[in-house]
Amino acid sequence: MPQQGRSRGSARERLLRAADELFYAQGIASTGVDAVVGRAEVALASLYKSFGNKDNLVAAYLAERDRRWRELWEAEISRADSAEGRLLAVFDALQVWRETIGMNHGCAMSAAAVQITDPAHPAVKVITEQKAWMLRRLGELAADYGVSAPAQVAEQLLITYEGVLARASLGDLAAIDSGRQLAQARLMVETLVAPRE
CA 64 to chain CA centroid, Å, is 10
Q: At 193, is the pLDDT very low, low, confident or very high (cuts 50, 70, 90)?
A: low
pLDDT number for residue 93: 97
- For the chain, residues classed under CATH 1.10.357.10 are 63-193
pLDDT number for residue 3: 39
Q: Which amino acid is present at 169? A: S
pLDDT number for residue 131: 97
The yes-or-no verdict on residue 194 having pLDDT over 80 is no
> What CA–CA distance (Å, rounded) separates 120 from 97?
30
The yes-or-no verdict on residue 6 having pLDDT over 80 is no
The yes-or-no verdict on residue 155 having pLDDT over 50 is yes
User: 63-193 adopts what CATH topology?
Assistant: Tetracycline Repressor; domain 2 (1.10.357)
Q: Is 70 left (phi over 0), alpha (psi -120 to 50) or beta?
A: alpha
The yes-or-no verdict on residue 139 having pLDDT over 90 is yes
What b/e sequence results for 186-197 when a residue is b if at least 16 CB atoms lie within 10 Å of its CB, and e otherwise? bbeebeeeeeee
Q: Which residue has the higher pLDDT, 101 or 191?
A: 101
- For the chain, residues classed under CATH 1.10.10.60 are 8-52
CA 6 to chain CA centroid, Å, is 29
Architecture of the domain delimited by 8-52: Orthogonal Bundle (1.10)
pTM score > 0.85 for this model? Answer: yes
Secondary structure letter of residue 192 according to DSSP: H
